[in-house]
Structure 1
């Protein structure tokens, strides 16, 4: 700071005011100081500034989604919203390792972060993050803490499933099968409940004959189709799949059997992952969990909580349905 002040021909106090954008200074004085700082490669000590203003203008992100399929859209929108307030992000990958997560948390706390966002690759309940004193805002996004005082932001899996099945019913499909992932996932339970309730509301049977649970994979989608269509007395005329990988595998298996999609069997997936939906033949209809909206809302909540507001409980955001050729005969 002394070197900057000397280069600009001002006092240290004036240089400090110019670089911290406070105090009453002439515009040319502030410009001269900033130019001197740039010439010297000077950067203010952000840690010292944070001690002075009691805020670091940073937040931490702890994630277990090493692949990034769900975390990255959330964090991208979060960063965009926080950047509007001049807040930066430190992101750490815990990879389901409690000890690694603790080390990352200690490092983040050492950086005097103003808040923490916890996310993952699945939405099932997990132990709450142990933040000393519980004074720092913590939000769980696409993740849940086993703590009624925690704020958890999640997509509405139940509502998303109903959207998909109601769409298929609206197409005139009446024998709708559900192929999904492992029953240990809460999302599987919620989506199956939405599937059953949509059928019941429409006066259709929700028989277990048309329900298959297995892995989150294309291979499982193909295997489930073989199980549903081999020697079946009554074959499905639509498939609601628990994710897009399953849906793509199922669609491929139907095509290999000479079954027209969507003419004979309509297919809808879940996640709206364009790597799967747009590369499939035909392109897949799919439920979108609106992950960017989750990230944007997380940013809004963090900003409010850092300012002193308090939120708790589970908030579920509505999903959207993207209709493509796998369930729409009118699309080409």
Structure 2
């Protein structure tokens, strides 16, 4: 709450700027330097001043609310993306509303009608899969995160899965591994197919056997381990951390040491799996919070009348741990 009697002009005076500049700094609008915005925000905090959100909305015709529309009920991907979105939007005092469609087209349409009726400023669309999805037809700025829109004119931010998978193989080759097997998820999933192709291309003759496709599960990792061991690998690249954890468990049961006998890599850098694995997994971090921040920045630009068109592909990061490096 504002302290009694504290006005925008008081904030401006303390910050050494005009009232108009102070207003722009607190609403994250205008062409101002970051130093000026920070100085105004410090002055507002010192005086206990907060903008009147209702008055600002009425005067601007905006609600200062953005929706994150997702199919990811578990939050595995949408929660990190949402944290990145909020990092950007909170600076402009925009609220973020999470809408879980549960992969139900009717539920999605209900949400969209409600969001349009409520006058949200824009929508970030995301989910748990990377397959391109049909564009959303609403009279609002929309940015797609993780899965691109099928319309190339839309703004989409995705992860460079191929480069991430290639990085794991380059890492294994540099460690002197010469027989690399690959275990991954369903063949019809874009992420599994892209990662497997990048593994095969990067490994070349070091790839032993064909990639094995199955489920994104520890159970499949355990089952597939028995199959790939027939190829006598000295490394196993996995399409997800769940699979890799199952592989490590099965190798340990069979008396194989990781990474001394067989190195193992995961993918996703999901702490629940990667850090709890025995040993902890070398894995590819999707940098989902960075993806959320970039999507939110594009959405703010679109709201300001400067929409982006096309797909932005963001880099991943290889995180090395004991499953390839040992202790």
Shorter-chain TM-score: what band?
0.7 to 0.9
Question: Once the two structures are superposed, what CA deviation does each residue of 1:57-76 show, in whole Å capped at 9, x if it has no partner?
Answer: 11111111010001101101
Match of 2:62 among 20, 36, 55: 55
Q: Is the 8 A contact 2:183 2:239 kept in 1?
A: yes
| In 2, Cα distance between equivalents of 1:224 and 1:194 | 20
In the TM superposition, what are the counterparts of 1:217-236 in structure 2 within 5 Å?
217-229=217-229, 232=230, 234-236=231-233
Aligned twin of 1:312: 309
Q: TM-score, normalised by structure 1?
A: 0.82
| In 2, Cα distance between equivalents of 1:24 and 1:259 | 66
| In 1, Cα distance between equivalents of 2:53 and 2:321 | 52
Deviation at 1:309, TM superposition (A): 1.0
SS at match of 2:156: strand
Match of 2:318 among 317, 321, 324: 321
Q: Is the 8 A contact 2:180 2:206 kept in 1?
A: no
Q: Is the 8 A contact 2:299 2:307 kept in 1?
A: no
Figure out how many residues of one structure are paired with residues of the other and give that number. 291
| In 1, Cα distance between equivalents of 2:227 and 2:210 | 10
In the TM superposition, what are the counterparts of 1:159-198 in structure 2 within 5 Å?
159-198=163-202
Range 74-83 or range 51-60, more displaced: 51-60
Cα RMSD, aligned residues only: 2.4
Aligned twin of 1:33: none
In the TM superposition, what are the counterparts of 1:156-305 in structure 2 within 5 Å?
156-200=160-204, 204-206=205-207, 209-229=209-229, 232=230, 234-305=231-302
Cα distance change on mapping 1:328 and 1:309 into 2, 3 Å: same
- Structure exhibiting the larger radius of gyration computed from Cα positions: 1
| In 2, Cα distance between equivalents of 1:221 and 1:251 | 8
| In 2, Cα distance between equivalents of 1:176 and 1:260 | 16
Match of 2:142 among 138, 142, 163: 138
Range 283-292 or range 51-60, more displaced: 51-60
SS at match of 1:99: helix
Structure 2 residue runs of 5 or longer lacking an equivalent are 15-47
Deviation at 1:122, TM superposition (A): 0.7
| In 2, Cα distance between equivalents of 1:26 and 1:244 | 54
Cα distance change on mapping 1:108 and 1:258 into 2, 3 Å: same
Range 50-59 or range 235-244, more displaced: 50-59
Deviation at 1:218, TM superposition (A): 0.2
| In 1, Cα distance between equivalents of 2:175 and 2:291 | 30
Cα distance change on mapping 1:53 and 1:240 into 2, 3 Å: same
Deviation at 1:206, TM superposition (A): 3.9
Match of 1:76 among 72, 83, 97: 83
Cα distance change on mapping 1:22 and 1:53 into 2, 3 Å: farther
Aligned twin of 2:121: 114
Deviation at 1:26, TM superposition (A): 9.5
Query: After the TM superposition, which segments of 4 or more aligned residues of structure 1 sit over 6 Å from their partners?
Result: 22-27
Is 1:148 aligned to 2:152, yes or no?
Answer: yes
SS at match of 1:79: helix
Q: Is the 8 A contact 1:210 1:236 kept in 2?
A: no
Structure 1 residue runs of 5 or longer lacking an equivalent are 1-7, 9-14, 28-37
Q: TM-score, normalised by structure 2?
A: 0.83
| In 1, Cα distance between equivalents of 2:159 and 2:202 | 18
Deviation at 1:144, TM superposition (A): 2.0
Q: Is the 8 A contact 2:124 2:296 kept in 1?
A: no
Question: Once the two structures are superposed, what CA deviation does each residue of 1:86-141 show, in whole Å capped at 9, x if it has no partner?
Answer: 11112111011111011111111122111110010111122111204xxx211000
Deviation at 1:44, TM superposition (A): 5.9
Question: Once the two structures are superposed, what CA deviation does each residue of 1:129-188 show, in whole Å capped at 9, x if it has no partner?
Answer: 1204xxx21100012221111111111100000000100011100110110000111111
Aligned twin of 2:19: none
